[in-house]
Amino acid sequence: MGNKLRIVKIGGNIIDDPQKLEDFLVDFALLTGPKILVHGGGKLATQLSKKLGVETQMVDGRRITTSEDLDIVVMVYAGLINKKIVAGLQGKGCNAIGLSGADAECLRASKRPVNPIDFGWVGDIESVNVPSIRLFLDAGFTPVFCAISHDSKGHLLNTNADTIASELAIGMSGHFETELIYCFEKKGVLENVEDDESVIPHINTARYRELKESGAIHKGMLPKMENCFHALEKKVYRVTIGSPEVLKPGNRLFTTLTL
């Protein structure tokens, strides 16, 4: 094995801010070695839905993806956002290729069961096509994955970008020493959500349970943390959470997770 691979995930806090996105892409393009970028959708899909008169339905902060809504999220995630990011990276000398899970059969998913909540056309990842992704990496491309998968029956599926990043890291870890990096609005996991400087530098499973039980970890962080520890349990080499500054050489303010 020996080869290192970095998988970086960004969300709406970067995507929705043109200057933050530009700054991030500069730093991402400078990363050496094989790398993969995964992005969410930000607010654009909701804004477009409103313009088109399609009501966005949410349950516990998660989008219900109707057939109409799926068309919109595919247009925005796999189209507008993905291609803007790819073009931005090309302008910085990073030979990126924009992908959904359907392209080269990279990410196969199954439609989420309708019980207890029917989320519509939402997918849960079943398999990662490592040989296809390796072809892109070996050819010198940087894959940029949007939050869209497919079910191999002709249906596209809206899929959580944090989960896609985690599953990609797990799938590739048999061939690379894989580091999974989640970039979000904070400098790391915080001891006190009101204090941006209270970054916890290291969290293992026992510490995570303590923070979870005490309520110190904000509920919005819980799904992200579950993805992190799931990846570590499946032999991903390293998982890091922090602001985009985590990509800058010499930065020391972030959270590293270990078992």
Tens digit of pLDDT per residue, the chain (259 long)?
459 999 999 999 999 999 999 999 999 999 999 999 999 988 999 999 999 999 888 887 678 999 999 999 999 999 999 999 999 999 999 999 999 999 999 999 999 999 899 999 999 999 999 999 999 999 999 999 999 999 999 999 999 999 999 999 999 999 999 999 999 999 999 888 888 888 999 999 999 988 888 887 866 788 888 889 999 999 999 999 999 999 998 888 899 999 8
Position 158 scores a pLDDT of 97
Q: CA-to-CA distance for 184 and 82, rounded, in angstroms?
A: 18
Position 149 scores a pLDDT of 98
Could you please report the per-residue DSSP string of 152-208?
SSS-EEE--HHHHHHHHHHHHTTTSEEEEEEE-SSSS-BSSTT-TT-B-SEE-HHHH
Position 40 scores a pLDDT of 92
Give 80's DSSP letter: I
Q: Residue 233: what are its φ and ψ, rounded to 5°?
A: -65, -25
Residue 235's CB is within 10 A of a number of other CB atoms, namely 12
124 neighbors 110 (Cβ within 8 angstroms): yes
| pTM greater than 0.85 | yes
First to last CA, the chain: 21
256 neighbors 202 (Cβ within 8 angstroms): yes
Position 127 scores a pLDDT of 98
Q: CA-to-CA distance for 117 and 65, rounded, in angstroms?
A: 12
Q: CA-to-CA distance for 232 and 129, rounded, in angstroms?
A: 20
Position 59 scores a pLDDT of 81
Q: CA-to-CA distance for 44 and 11, rounded, in angstroms?
A: 12
